C-alpha cells in the first residue's frame, strides 16, 4: 500500500468516527487527490451519492452521479472499482490517479452520512451488474459473468480482469506488428512461410509496462521470434 493510501486511510477513519470533516482533513485529502477531490465534494454537496444495500447479506454498492450535462450515474466500490472512463484511463491504465472522483464522493458521503440509502434484495443487487455491460465488450462481459458465479464482487472482478487481459493481449499484438514491420524484407518473407503469430516475452513486457506492471521472467521463456519454428526455416 502506498504512503498516500495509508495517510488517506487514517483521515477517512477519523472522519468516519466523528461523522464530520474538518478544514484540516479537507486540506489533506485535497493535497492527496487534487482535482478529483474537488469534483467529489461537488457531487456530495449535490446529494449525488446513493448506497444500495442488499438484503439479507448487507453487501452494498454505490451509485454516484456524474458531473456532465447528461448526469450519468456510475456504479462503484469506494476503494476498488468504478465503471467510469476515468477509472480505467487515469487509474488503471496511466496510473496518474489513486482513484476517481466518483470513488472519492462515495467514500466521503459514506463517512459523513450524506448518502441516500436504498435497500434491495440480494438478487436485484447482483443483477445490477448487467448495467456495466456498456463498459466492456459484450462478448467479454457475457463470458466473464457466466463463469464467475453468483457473488457480485467476484463477478465485477471477473469482468474487469477479462477486460484487462484483452487490453494487454491487444497491446502485445501491436508491439509484435511494429517489430515485424522493422524486420528486413527478405527475412520477413522467410518468416512469413510460418503463418503463426509468435508473441515474445518482450512484446508482453512492453504491453504490461504501459499499465505500470514490470514483468520479470525466467530465461526458459521465449525471447526470440524464431522460437518454436521449424529448424530449417530458423537456420536459413
Region 227-231 average pLDDT: 52
- Give the containing element (helix H, strand E) for 73: strand 73-77
* 41 and 108 fall within a common domain: yes
The Cα angle at residue 75 between residues 128 and 85, in degrees rounded to 5: 125
Q: Is residue 142 part of a domain?
A: no
Number of folded domains that form the chain:
2
Q: Which of 93, 110, 125 is the C-terminal boundary of a domain?
A: 125
* 27 and 107 fall within a common domain: yes
Which residues are within 8 A (CB) of 154 and not within 5 positions of it... i.e. 6 or more apart?
148
Region 5-20 average pLDDT: 90
pTM of the model: 0.55
* 91 and 177 fall within a common domain: no
What pLDDT does residue 90 have? 81
Q: Which of 94, 125, 156 is the C-terminal boundary of a domain?
A: 125
Region 134-162 average pLDDT: 53
Residue written as grid cell 487509474: 91
* 31 and 91 fall within a common domain: yes
Q: Which of 86, 109, 125 is the C-terminal boundary of a domain?
A: 125
What angle in degrees, to the nearest 10, is found between the helix axes of 35-45 and 101-112?
A: 50
Is the pLDDT assigned to residue 190 strictly greater than 70? no
What pLDDT does residue 53 have? 87
Find residue 54's DSSP bridge partners: 120
Please tell me the total number of residues recorded for the chain in this structure: 236
Q: Is residue 166 part of a domain?
A: no
* 121 and 196 fall within a common domain: no
Structural domain that includes position 75 = 3-125
What pLDDT does residue 234 have? 46
What pLDDT does residue 110 have? 93
Q: Is residue 141 part of a domain?
A: no
Q: Is residue 114 part of a domain?
A: yes
Higher pLDDT, 36 or 219: 36
- Give the containing element (helix H, strand E) for 181: helix 152-181
Amino acid at each position: 500500500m502506498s504512503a498516500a493510501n495509508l495517510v488517506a486511510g487514517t483521515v477517512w477513519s477519523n472522519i468516519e468516527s466523528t461523522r464530520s470533516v474538518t478544514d484540516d482533513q479537507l486540506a489533506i485529502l485535497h493535497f492527496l487527490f487534487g482535482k478529483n477531490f474537488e469534483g467529489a465534494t461537488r457531487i456530495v454537496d449535490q446529494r449525488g451519492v446513493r448506497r444500495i444495500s442488499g438484503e439479507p447479506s448487507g453487501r452494498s454498492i454505490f451509485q454516484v452521479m456524474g458531473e456532465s450535462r447528461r448526469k450519468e450515474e456510475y456504479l462503484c466500490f469506494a476503494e476498488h472499482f468504478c465503471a467510469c472512463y476515468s477509472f480505467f484511463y487515469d487509474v488503471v491504465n496511466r496510473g496518474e490517479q489513486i482513484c476517481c472522483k466518483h470513488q472519492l464522493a462515495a467514500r466521503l458521503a459514506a463517512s459523513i452520512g450524506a448518502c441516500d440509502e436504498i435497500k434491495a434484495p440480494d438478487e436485484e443487487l447482483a443483477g445490477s451488474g448487467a448495467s456495466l455491460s456498456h463498459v466492456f465488450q459484450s462478448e467479454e462481459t457475457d463470458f466473464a459473468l457466466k463463469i464467475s458465479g453468483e457473488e457480485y464482487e467476484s463477478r465485477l472482478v471477473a469482468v474487469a480482469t477479462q477486460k484487462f487481459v484483452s487490453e494487454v493481449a491487444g497491446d502485445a499484438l501491436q508491439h509484435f506488428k511494429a517489430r515485424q514491420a522493422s524486420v528486413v524484407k527478405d527475412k520477413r518473407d522467410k518468416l512469413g512461410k510460418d503463418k503463426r503469430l509468435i508473441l515474445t516475452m518482450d512484446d508482453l513486457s512492453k504491453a504490461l509496462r504501459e499499465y505500470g506492471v514490470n514483468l520479470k521472467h525466467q530465461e526458459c521463456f521465449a525471447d526470440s521470434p524464431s522460437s518454436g519454428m521449424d529448424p530449417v526455416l530458423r537456420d536459413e
